[in-house]
Structure 1
């Protein structure tokens, strides 16, 4: 969980009041098999002390808990227990656990250079890849057993509830994560020797590698990338290589030479290769034939090593491994409020994900005329529908959910009370 901004005085009372009203007016649905789950929460008064081992036998008990406690953060166990309220894991008696994937902007390469809105947009792209390519694609998981959840903070959670995964151990779940991140996959395995007829005749080959580090030609053979629709990481690497080549065509020789040099080539050789790919049609020929033998001379081994390795990195599944492998994990409760943003933790489907906009859809429901004046403590700019931009020390009346978002992030505060 991200560091929670400490609130005090009137600001604490006001923020807690917004949460109290939400929980009083919203019948938050309990999760699947809730009576076998542990629940936990951080209260507003002691944000560093989690209250754990809560359990509920009825929907009424569960729904009474949130308005009574008004927690700042709410969690429930991905695991099912025979005795969820017991204070130790051994006493709880583990029965199984949902399979959970956590995509958080903290784990995305380059996310540190993006603002909050940019991070959320980037992680949404990664979520599509995780769900479509890996879970529904490679793993063959039925979408009916899968739910997507916006975390209310920096990313998304994917919940898989299926008997096939229920009793997987932590090491077994680790194997799934290893596959997602391509652990143990050599990107050169996406290159094979095939018949000269082209990509349509692709078959695996045991030809030994030649001086380029990829399978040798052999009699009547050419070295080819696996088909783009080949299953698993081979096809995924090919698609990334083709995207990279198309990218080089688009940016031209000079910029391509810089990128190739960054792969470890000397500047002279990088410029020559850039011309070969861009001006002499090499990229187009590779993309058309998938053959690595479209040039008069072999490309150096280090070039393909670097290109293929970069291709694998460009599509690497990025998920928080401890969340997936921890069979006792606590995860945010859907439709609860995130104490660092005031956003709702919203369940989504693969279909509703496309149009989902956190800044439009996740804030608290609010009447248009309900506003709150705040003073900005730092420069801010966010793509809320009303548009939010402020400088330190400036005051502005904002829609209450927007004001709550800024206050909880420590980027604004309530102005002093008059008198």
Structure 2
């Protein structure tokens, strides 16, 4: 039996007893993919949830995605013939976009020119400087860092955008999370408005001076904290927190000054904080222009707080994205819906494993140590192993293993 047929049969067994529901299913465009190709065909549509479920059971796609937009005629081509009715916004966070230390443990790379290899995630070959291919894996650490981004986005959505309904979250099935906004006030936004919203969340082109952080009469001024909201409030809260905690090293690094200079500043900490909170004045830095120091410090705080959002997914109203509660064909994990109250404790490497423990013998070319469903596996290098079905599927789908016998 081929690996593709084996994986397809496993997915087929799952969909035989699994129901998938999509909001406004008859107005969505769908796309499907098969082994090794996420999108092989687009411009599909289904008249009902029943028809969609039947399709999954009979055609058994490795991947199925749906449009963030709703259309009058979702199967029509070209795109302009579909009849746009409105679109959700989907924000996507992936662990592969984050620079986490754990990548040094589980990722690896190979040079496309000289064939040199190494551990970790790099952009260029350390031997010849050419481009590299990186093999990425995911663990508790990087997936938890990704989840932190989700919570930060939710804080923006609720506090800055005042959206409290029509929000749903699901695991992507592989490396991250998708946050769907289906609020009526969102659906009518055009592409330009979506980009403006994205720019706000990521602080693209943020102008400190326009937001009240300005130099005047040799003093550097800031907005009054009790009158701020949004990014101004977030910036001042971060700044006050740094000062209250006497974080000398971070202030010095962000402001581009020596530690001793910051210690001099913090020797008058109570006065510094009082000037910020009651007068909107940032204290002078001895021997250095205030403007250069404070702008550098504030810009670093801004970048530290900005969200790292996939721009294409959130701004493109023609985008299709994985259907929640379906299988990700590259991992065998479920793109599981997550109630907001369960997100904090949610562990995708346990809770999205849906295949059984049946033993499967495989030959593994290479794999770091990885975790699924309460068990650790590997590392493996050019060896046979008997694994639970869910772990075997995971490795075969990644093309890191093949069937034996």
TM-score by structure 2 length?
A: 0.81
Given candidates 327, 352, 356, the residue that maps to 1:362 is: 352
Distance 1:395 1:57, change over 3 A: same
The runs of 5 or more residues in structure 2 that have no matched partner are: 107-137
Distance 1:243 1:407, change over 3 A: farther
Matched-pair contact (CA < 8 Å) for 1:189–1:234: no
2:317 is the alignment partner of 1:317: no
Deviation at 1:51, TM superposition (A): 1.3
Residue in 2 aligned with 1:181? 202
Residue in 1 aligned with 2:6? 14
Given candidates 139, 160, 169, the residue that maps to 2:181 is: 160
Residue in 1 aligned with 2:233? 235
Task: Please tell me the root mean square deviation across aligned C-alpha atoms, in Å.
Answer: 2.9
Distance 1:228 1:69, change over 3 A: farther
Distance 1:382 1:189, change over 3 A: farther
Q: In the TM superposition, what are the counterparts of 1:143-158 in structure 2 within 5 Å? A: 144-158=165-179
CA distance in 2, matches of 1:362, 1:35: 27
Deviation at 1:360, TM superposition (A): 0.5
Deviation at 1:99, TM superposition (A): 1.8
2:32 is the alignment partner of 1:41: yes
2:90 is the alignment partner of 1:100: yes
Q: In the TM superposition, what are the counterparts of 1:216-295 in structure 2 within 5 Å? A: 226-227=224-225, 230-245=228-243, 249=247, 256=249, 260-261=252-253, 263-265=255-257, 270-276=258-264, 281=267, 286=272, 290=276
- The SS at the match of 1:383 is strand
CA distance in 1, matches of 2:211, 2:39: 50
Q: Give deviations 1:64-110, integer Å, cap 9, x for gaps.
A: 10111111111011111111111211221111111221222344355
CA distance in 1, matches of 2:273, 2:355: 49
Residue in 2 aligned with 1:209? 216
Given candidates 385, 394, 398, the residue that maps to 2:387 is: 398
Distance 1:228 1:149, change over 3 A: farther
Matched-pair contact (CA < 8 Å) for 2:355–2:389: no
2:304 is the alignment partner of 1:304: no
Deviation at 1:276, TM superposition (A): 3.1
Deviation at 1:391, TM superposition (A): 2.8
Deviation at 1:296, TM superposition (A): 8.1
The runs of 5 or more residues in structure 1 that have no matched partner are: 1-8, 193-206, 216-223
CA distance in 1, matches of 2:365, 2:268: 54
CA distance in 1, matches of 2:316, 2:101: 25
Distance 1:245 1:380, change over 3 A: farther
Residue in 2 aligned with 1:386? 375
Matched-pair contact (CA < 8 Å) for 2:93–2:178: yes
CA distance in 2, matches of 1:376, 1:395: 6
Matched-pair contact (CA < 8 Å) for 1:228–1:236: no
Distance 1:241 1:296, change over 3 A: closer
Deviation at 1:371, TM superposition (A): 2.5
Higher strand share: 2
CA distance in 2, matches of 1:293, 1:131: 30
2:157 is the alignment partner of 1:135: yes
Q: Give deviations 1:199-221, integer Å, cap 9, x for gaps.
A: xxxxxxxx852446x22xxxxxx
Deviation at 1:156, TM superposition (A): 1.2
Matched-pair contact (CA < 8 Å) for 1:149–1:345: yes
- The SS at the match of 1:347 is coil
Distance 1:284 1:346, change over 3 A: farther
- The SS at the match of 1:25 is coil
Deviation at 1:167, TM superposition (A): 1.7
Residue in 1 aligned with 2:143? 120
Matched-pair contact (CA < 8 Å) for 2:360–2:392: yes
- The SS at the match of 1:53 is strand
